[in-house]
């Protein structure tokens, strides 16, 4: 492999820079293999400068030391170490904030996203697309339940999100042009549903189909509870339809209650009042109580998010940042200087 990268090449200028952003959380088992596959790809991209920004999202295993080892041999690697685990969406944002490329690629470190596809991404980017994203045709190694729930989630999102259409079966694996990343980075919300944000910025986009492989090593960091919260994030970040449903359901129940009230009054006037109707009363009380509690919960979800946003905390904190030195940049006029 490209174990000790030749820093001489770093003086090549005027080539577009490709930045690859890689979020990594407890991925010690897989980083080395990932790096080797990426090196093969970088070698084939001789018309471009390449940098790889690995964001260590507060890993508790050996991830950071492996990243530093790789970086000491290859100055195309930048390393960002966050102060704790902030979650994939924020880790990606940290990487995007530091990516200097003309095109920026986001890829998972577990090799579920085949790096070789990046060549096609770049071709399409050269054809004028700002966003080139990978669309999964098969998801090997994922349970039917995950596939089914993901499918349901996208169906619901499709129905309820208004103008922003989130493409199905896509993940974060994509290429984005400089201008689309700049646009995306203007959205500093804390509750970051990235798939929605990519769609929100718009720009000409192109899908490329691929087979999603199983993980090369290690295990998925998302359990079903995590995925459920992810789905809630998606819905609450992109639509207020659940609140509207509350309004209309409330209206409907009030109208029915009003008619039912009229009916009871007329019935009492005509036939008198006998103490009956306990089941009706219970059903009505329980139904209304349930509906009210449910929608207080829905409002709470939105309120909690508003609370989160009003605190205006920084999105993430960095413990250590070591930039890449492969391509010459303004702040770094001596690109061959190697950082330890």
Q: Judged by CB, which is closer to Mg ion: 73, or 221? A: 221
If 0-12 CB within 10 Å is exposed, 13-18 middle and 19+ buried, where does residue 165 land? exposed
Nearest distance, CB of residue 215 and ligand UDP, angstroms: 6
The size of the interface with Mg ion (CB under 5 A), counted in residues, is 2
Residue 160 Cα distances to 165, 167, 235, 239, 335, angstroms = 10, 14, 8, 7, 49
Q: Residue 221 binds which one of ligand UDP, Mg ion, none, with CB within 5 to 8 A depending on kind?
A: ligand UDP
Nearest distance, CB of residue 22 and Mg ion, angstroms: 12
CB atoms within 10 A of CB 119: 11
Q: Residue 323 binds which one of ligand UDP, Mg ion, none, with CB within 5 to 8 A depending on kind?
A: none
Nearest distance, CB of residue 144 and Mg ion, angstroms: 17
Q: Judged by CB, which is closer to ligand UDP: 98, or 325? A: 98
Tokens of 1: 């492999």
Q: Residue 80 binds which one of Mg ion, ligand UDP, none, with CB within 5 to 8 A depending on kind?
A: none
Q: Judged by CB, which is closer to ligand UDP: 23, or 242? A: 23
Judged by CB under 5 A, does residue 110 bind Mg ion?
A: yes
Q: Residue 27 binds which one of ligand UDP, Mg ion, none, with CB within 5 to 8 A depending on kind?
A: ligand UDP
Q: Judged by CB, which is closer to Mg ion: 110, or 233? A: 110
Q: Judged by CB, which is closer to Mg ion: 141, or 202? A: 141
Range list of β-strands (E), 77-236:
77-82, 103-106, 131-139, 170-177, 205-212
Judged by CB under 5 A, does residue 26 bind Mg ion?
A: no
Residue 139 Cα distances to 12, 43, 168, angstroms = 39, 28, 13
196 and 161 Cβ atoms separated by less than 8 Å:
yes
Residues that bind ligand UDP (CB under 6 A): 23-25, 27, 57, 85, 87-88, 91, 108-110, 112, 220-222
Name every residue whose Cβ is closer than 8 Å to that of residue 283 and which is 6 or more positions away in sequence: none
Nearest distance, CB of residue 183 and Mg ion, angstroms: 27
Q: Which residue has the tokens 């998801």?
A: 139
CB atoms within 10 A of CB 203: 14
Range list of β-strands (E), 25-149:
49-56, 77-82, 103-106, 131-139
- Residues found near Mg ion in the complex (CB under 5 A): 110, 112
């Amino acid at each position: 492999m490209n174990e000790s990268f030749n820093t001489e090449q770093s003086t090549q200028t005027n080539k577009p820079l490709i930045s690859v952003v890689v979020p990594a959380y407890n991925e010690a088992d897989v980083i080395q293999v990932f790096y080797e596959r990426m090196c093969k790809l970088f070698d084939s991209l001789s018309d471009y400068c390449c940098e790889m920004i690995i964001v260590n999202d507060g890993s508790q295993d050996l991830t950071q030391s492996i990243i530093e080892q790789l970086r000491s041999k290859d100055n195309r690697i930048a390393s960002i170490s966050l102060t704790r685990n902030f979650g994939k969406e924020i880790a990606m944002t940290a990487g995007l904030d530091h990516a200097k490329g003309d095109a920026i690629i986001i890829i998972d470190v577990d090799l579920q996203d085949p790096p070789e596809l990046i060549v096609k991404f770049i071709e399409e980017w050269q054809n004028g697309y700002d966003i080139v994203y990978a669309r999964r045709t098969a998801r090997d190694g994922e349970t039917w339940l995950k596939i089914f729930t993901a499918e349901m989630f996208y169906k619901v999102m499709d129905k309820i999100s208004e103008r922003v259409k989130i493409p199905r079966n896509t993940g974060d694996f994509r290429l984005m042009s400089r201008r689309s990343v700049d646009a995306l980075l203007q959205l500093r919300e804390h509750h970051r549903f990235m798939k929605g944000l990519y769609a929100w910025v718009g720009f000409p986009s192109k899908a490329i189909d691929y087979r999603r492989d199983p993980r090369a090593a290690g295990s998925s960091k998302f359990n079903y509870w995590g995925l459920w919260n992810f789905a809630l994030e998606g819905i609450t970040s992109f639509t207020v339809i659940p609140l509207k449903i509350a309004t209309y359901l409330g209206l409907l129940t009030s109208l029915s209650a009003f008619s039912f009230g009229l009916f009871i009054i007329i019935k009492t006037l005509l036939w008198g009042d006998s103490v009956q109707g306990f089941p009706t009363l219970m059903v009505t009380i329980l139904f209304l109580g349930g509906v009210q509690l449910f929608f207080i919960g829905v409002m709470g979800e939105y309120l909690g998010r508003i609370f989160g946003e009003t605190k205006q905390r920084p999105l993430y904190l960095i413990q250590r940042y070591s930039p890449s030195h492969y391509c010459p940049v303004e702040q770094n006029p001596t690109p061959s200087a190697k950082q330890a």
